[in-house]
């Protein structure tokens, strides 16, 4: 779950990497105060006939972090910030011992949130197709670490990311679709507490 969450975070933070220079991308990523909306994630495992499906909502605040709130099939809230990946236990954010080993990945994600595209370009080769209103961005891993995890990552969108597909090395696949996206609605109290 956390590997998929990290992968999602990685690509959520770079919707315009193909269309702009690094300086323009930094400005673009810092423009919206936040992005929030709904997601549906389908995980296609080689060992299962049907995909495992989760649904929920997310809030992404550049330079602050991401709140990933799964509603179905069960309730789960994860937060990613500079202090790591934490899970809400109903009264407080708790750290996962495994998450402490992901500092390098977390730092890469936070660099992306801050508009530091150097990290993404060090890890992946980027190839874009389409127009600013209807584009596809394919990320091909070029480092040994990312090649161990992914064959490719594909993003589709317009002014925001609308769909992400993660093709993993061992043959599994994850598709995440985003809808009801907004950059102007105020954050609720829980999201503010979690991310600020």
What confidence tens digit (pLDDT) does each residue in 25-60 have? 445 556 677 889 999 999 999 889 999 999 999 998
- Helix, strand, coil fractions of the chain, as percent rounded to 5: 30, 45, 30
State the Cα torsion 128-55-81-152 to the nearest 10°.
-30
Which tokens hold the place of 161? Answer: 């990311």
What confidence tens digit (pLDDT) does each residue in 138-160 have? 888 998 988 998 899 888 877 77
CATH code for the domain in which residue 91 is found: 2.50.20.10
Q: Which residue has tokens 């990946």?
A: 85
Domain that holds residue 34: 2-195
Average the pLDDT over each of 1-15, 92-106, 116-130, 136-150 and give the range with the smallest value: 1-15
C-alpha to C-alpha distance for 161 and 159, rounded to whole angstroms: 7
pLDDT at 17: 42
Q: Reduced to 3 states, what is the DSSP secondary structure of residue 120?
A: helix
- Give the full edge-to-edge strand order of the sheet including 84-88: 93-95, 84-88, 76-81, 65-72, 52-61, 35-44, 173-182, 161-168, 150-157, 134-141, 124-131
């Amino acid at each position: 779950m956390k590997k998929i969450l990290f992968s999602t975070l990685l690509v959520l933070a770079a919707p315009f990497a193909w269309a702009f220079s690094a300086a323009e991308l930094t400005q673009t990523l810092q423009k919206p105060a936040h992005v929030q909306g709904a997601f549906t994630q389908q995980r296609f495992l080689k060992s299962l006939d049907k995909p495992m499906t989760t649904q929920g909502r997310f809030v992404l605040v550049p330079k602050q972090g991401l709140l990933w709130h799964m509603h179905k099939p069960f309730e789960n809230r994860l937060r990613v910030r500079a202090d790591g990946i934490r899970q809400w236990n109903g009264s407080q954010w708790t750290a996962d011992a495994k998450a402490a080993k992901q500092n390098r990945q977390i730092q890469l994600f936070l660099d992306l949130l801050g508009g530091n595209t150097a990290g993404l370009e060090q890890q992946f080769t980027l190839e874009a197709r389409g127009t600013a209103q209807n584009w596809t961005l394919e990320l091909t891993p070029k480092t040994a670490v990312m090649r161990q995890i992914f064959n490719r990552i594909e993003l589709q969108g317009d002014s925001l990311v609308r769909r992400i597909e993660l093709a993993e090395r061992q043959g599994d696949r994850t598709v995440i679709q985003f809808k009801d996206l907004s950059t102007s609605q105020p954050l609720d109290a829980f999201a503010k507490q979690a991310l600020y």
